[in-house]
Structure 1
Amino acid sequence: MAKKIKPHKDKELEDLIQAIFEEHKERYGYRRITIELRARGYKVNHKRVLRIMRQLGLQCLKFTNRSRRYNSYKGPVGKVAKNKINRRFVTPHPLQKLVTDITEFKCLNNEKLY
Structure 2
Amino acid sequence: MIITNNDWVYQKFKDSCNVLFIKGSYRDVLVKVRDKIQEGHELLTHPLSSSLKPNETPYKSIIISENKGTLNFDSVYIIENSIMSYDKFNKNKLINLTDKIIEDFKLIDLTVLESALDI
Q: Structure 2 length as normaliser, TM-score?
A: 0.21
Bigger strand share: 2
Which of the pair is proportionally richer in helix?
2
Q: Which has the larger radius of gyration?
A: 1
Which protein has greater RCO, CA pairs closer than 8 Å, 6+ apart? Answer: 2
